[in-house]
Amino acid sequence: MDVFPQYPGRIEVICGPMFSGKSEELVRRTRRCVYANQKTIIFSRDTRYGKGLLKTHSGNECKALFANNAEEILTHDLKGVDVIGIDEGQFFGDQLSRVCTELSSQNIRVIVAGLDMDFECKPFENIALLMGIAEHVTKLSAICMSPGCGSPATRSYRTTKAVERVLEGSKDIYIPLCRHCYENK
């Protein structure tokens, strides 16, 4: 990881397609902060495993506070908080970059994990904007699940006919594909 400035307030983005390990990396980074005795809070909008729990596809889990949108994060008592993690950032609305900037200006390290693109390969605007202002961006890839491929996957392919942009799901609805396999579906 790059060397950061002496000030703790900064924005980090972890992005990529479904099944690339975004939440896993968020949990890893925030656990290191907890080990360093930094007061850490994670926010999530994902309720697939119940409110108050962030669970990764690999089975790791940690406590998380529920927030409907980015502005709701600011309604929590953040006194003395050193690090804020935000999982599934694409669900947090168009105020995400403003809220993250406000938090980082208060010397809070903000780590956001989220999809960079939807199932049609259109960027999630709030994540794209956040990537532009972040001090550090980590773009992860998954493994292409097209039979016989195995290339780095950068796309989230929806296996259902549903057309709404936001559709929470897992392996029952999405598979990661590389650019070539995605374009040939």
Please report where in the chains the tokens 């799901």 appear, as a residue.
Answer: 169
In the structure, how many helices (H) and strands (E) does the chain have? 5, 12
Segments forming the whole domain that contains residue 32: 10-140
Give 166's pLDDT tier (boundaries 50, 70, 90).
confident
What does pLDDT average to over the chain?
A: 90
**Domain at 109, CATH number:** 3.40.50.300
- Whether 185 is in a domain gets the answer no
- Whether 22 is in a domain gets the answer yes
- Whether 165 is in a domain gets the answer no
* C-beta separation of 25 from 14 below 8 A: yes
Picking from 74-83, 103-112, 161-170, which range would have the lowest pLDDT averaged per residue? Answer: 161-170
Count, residues in the chain: 185
Residues known to be catalytic: 88
**Total domains present in the chain:** 1
Hey, what are 170's tokens?
Answer: 């897992």
For residue range 34-81, what is the model confidence (pLDDT) as tens digits?
999 999 999 988 766 666 766 666 666 678 889 999 999 999 999 999
- Whether 52 is in a domain gets the answer yes
- Whether 66 is in a domain gets the answer yes
- Whether 180 is in a domain gets the answer no
- Whether 67 is in a domain gets the answer yes
Residue 184, pLDDT above cutoff 60: yes
